[in-house]
Structure 1
Amino acid sequence: MGMQAGDTVLVTGATGYIGGRLAERLVTEEGVHVRGLVRNPAKAAELARRGIEVVPGDITDPASLQGAMAGCQVVFHAAAWVSEAGSRDEVWAVNVQGTQNVVDAALAAGVQRLVHVSSCAVYGSLQQFDIDEETPPRRTGNLYADSKVEAEEVVFRAWQEQGLAVVVARPSQVYGLGSPQFTLRPLEAIRSGKMLLIDGGRHLCKPIYIDNLVDGLICCAKVEAAVGQAFNFTDGPPVPWREFFGAYARMLGVERLPAAPYPVAWLAAALFELQAAVRGRKASLNRRVVKALRSNNSFSNRKARTVLGWEPRVDLAEGMRRTEAWLRANGYLEKKRP
């Protein structure tokens, strides 16, 4: 059974970016009772104010999941280790064993559907266009990406061997509102003069606006044909980084962003890392970021559109307009003078 009005729905990672926006929209638009699993209830005051039942717990603590899932029909698993810092053991404990714990608890609680938030990172930075879901995930040695590959294997195994109705969502680069990685971070880099366009910013970004993704996750929970399937979520054709970052530059009144060829940017990033290490901080521009900004590939969203009936409703121009309004309202940008 897909999600219906009146259901009790659990969102893991509810104080995170994707989980938070999902929980908020589920409670206001879908007529379901939403529980948010949160490690730190102090961070969840806003969720509680919006009518979400805050349940303390941790996906690395199986006992806490039993109570959280009791009586739930649908689970959205959005909790993950996303930080670039962390050992393999730390990342695996959350992304792989944590997912196994969620799956086990869902089976024990008789959950009717589990929607697992994965990532297009599972394709291992394959440099091809229109990568679709027939393309097998691959490990490349990147801790985060490899952990997401293994987490998907856990989820699909529960479907194949134990009949848990699962759906795997693979977002591309999620921006909009308070996105830590693709909104707040570039904004800060531009503001502090540390944004470099690699090779003139001609390489490709694969954006998806946060509410387009949430629309897709809700489809994953409702559509019967989605069960047992993985879906890419991306807004459409890729966009050059100069256009994507250029939108943030305009919000800050910056006319032109500095550009550098890849080898120069790589060296600059190595220097930033060194400087940051001396100060005991993390570099906002590092070599991993520089490498990611040189990627030329794209993901197909055809399957999500045909099987789920999903359409990305918000295009880049409108997404950036809504993002700017959110950033101004939340003090990240000066309010526009009337």
Structure 2
Amino acid sequence: MAGTVNILITGATGFLGGHLADACLRDGHRVRALVRPGSDTARLGALGPGLDLVPGDLADPASLARAAVGCDTVLHSAARVVDHGSRAQFEEANVTGTQRLLAAARAAGATRFVFVSSPSALMHLREGDRLRIDESTPYPTRFFNHYCATKAAAEQYVLSANTADFTSCALRPRAIWGPRDHAGFLPRMIASMRAGRLPDLSGGKRVRVSLCHVDNAVDACLRATAVPAERIAGKAYFVADREETDLWAFLARVGALLGCPPPHPRVPVAATRILAEAVEAAWRLRPSAATAPPLSRYTAALLTRSTTYDTAAARRDLGYDPPRAQEDGVSELLRWIHGIGGVDAWVRPDHPPASPRTDEGTTPR
């Protein structure tokens, strides 16, 4: 970004949003964070001058208008990222909330809107392994779940909002991981592994996936706020680590470094899918359940399908070159885990998740 920019960040009390706030302040920009009343803002409040906290909610247009005043750029990372809930709940948080924020940003005179989307927006209900997917991949005709459908709808609203004086784009990071994440896929998988409750769902095959370290996701987001508008106007981009990852080998390796037993026993992929369908069906009979099912078809697909993403478009248009290598990222994560008191402090179940969830959730999305 040239010079000091006024940036509105949603989801700043969460994992990715918090790192975005840190990076923007380090670069000398002024940050306004939309924070839900009652959310934990202690860390943000300690960041010092340059950051302004505005109480509000994506459901409250008046608060969005207050937050957007004077902002040049919006980084929208807040979303409902869970495995349960009604279509109406997902529509309100992911679609209608994004539409309200777009309207507030345009009315306030902002000129750029960067939406943190997800590769799940392109996830088909019935498909096998898909490698090196690029941005020519169409949206599915049948979505896997409410999360996938509403992220796709929100993304399309953002991209269609692009005009000559209002540049909008979307980034699709997969399975964001790194320090300060207590509620995402990696700490949850390690928690299950540490408790001896994580079976190996690979079925004996290599499940090849793209992951995205939080530093790489942040780098892409900041580049999207700074590059010339004509490069990115109305476009979506996959963002991922440089390395292609063997998911189950990666989980076993990180777990071993933290003293966890390996995933066991090995379960055939077909059995995993049958079990996921049964668990999901049983969960739907519990309409008052406030938690995600222990296994769903969506989770099973993410943990058993090979899916990788081609980031050539982000390299071309954003100048994206992942600054954090996976090996270095793992070492940094381990140092942070030991610094906060060890693996139990990292995966503790009583850690309050950001509300709304701001990035990739309980499984690699």
Give the total of aligned pairs.
331
DSSP 3-state at the match of 2:136: coil
Is 1:47 aligned with 2:44?
yes
1:59 corresponds to which letter in structure 2? L
Aligned pairs for 1:245-284 within 5 A: 245-254=251-260, 256-258=262-264, 259-266=266-273, 282-284=292-294
Which of 11, 17, 35 is equivalent to 2:32?
35
* Secondary structure of the structure 1 residue equivalent to 2:304: coil
Alignment of 1:1-338 (within 5 A): 3-27=1-25, 29-51=26-48, 52-125=51-124, 127-141=129-143, 142-160=145-163, 163-179=165-181, 180-198=183-201, 199-200=203-204, 202-224=206-228, 225-254=231-260, 256-258=262-264, 259-266=266-273, 282-333=292-343
TM-score after normalising by structure 1: 0.90
Shift of 1:266: 4.1
Give the superposition deviation at 1:41: 4.8
Q: CA deviation at 1:236?
A: 3.2
> What's the % identity of the aligned pairs?
31
The CA distance in 2 between the partners of 1:312 and 1:182, in whole Å, is 21
Q: Is this contact kept in 2: 1:114–1:166, CA < 8 A?
A: yes
The whole-number CA distance in structure 1 between the counterparts of 2:292 and 2:147 is 17
Q: Specify the SS of the correspondent of 1:135.
A: coil
- Bigger RCO of structures 1 and 2 (CA < 8 A, at least 6 apart): 2
Q: Judge conservation of contact 1:159–1:166 (CA < 8 Å) in 2.
A: yes
Gapped regions of structure 1 (runs ≥ 5): none
Measure how far apart 1:228 and its partner are: 2.3
In 1, Cα distance between equivalents of 2:242 and 2:172: 14
Maintained 8 Å contact 1:169/1:217: yes
Offset at 1:123?
1.4
Q: 2-side partners of 1:156 and 1:287: how far apart? A: 29
With 202-211 and 212-221 compared, the bigger mean Cα shift is at 202-211
8 Å contact from structure 1 (residues 201, 240) kept in 2: no
Say whether the 8 Å CA contact 1:41–1:54 is kept in structure 2: no
| TM-score (normalised: structure 2) | 0.83
Question: Which amino acid is the alignment partner of residue 223 of structure 1?
Answer: V
Per the alignment, do residues 42 and 334 of structure 1 end up closer, same or farther by CA in structure 2, a change over 3 Å counting?
Answer: closer
Flag the structure with higher helix content: 1
Determine if contact 1:122/1:146 at 8 Å carries over to the other structure.
yes
Q: 2:224–2:318: 8 Å Cα contact kept in structure 1?
A: yes
Secondary structure of 1:86's partner? coil
The RMSD of aligned alpha carbons is 2.5
State the distance in 1 between where 2:195 and 2:296 align.
15
Q: Distance in 1 between matches of 2:247 and 2:307?
A: 13
Per-residue deviation, 1:169: 0.7
- After TM superposition, give the deviation of residue 327 of structure 1 in Å: 1.8
In the TM superposition, what whole-angstrom CA distance separates every residue of 1:10-47 from its partner, at most 9, and x where no partner exists? 101111211111112211x2100111101135411110
Give the gaps of 5 or more residues in structure 2.
346-365
Corresponding letter in the other structure for 1:230:
A
Q: Distance in 2 between matches of 1:334 and 1:296?
A: 30
Cα deviation per residue 1:136-190 (whole Å; 9 max; x = unaligned)?
Answer: 2224331101101100111122115x85211211111211113322221111111
Return the letter of the residue paired with 1:16: G
Q: Tell me which amino acid in the other structure corresponds to 1:229.
A: K
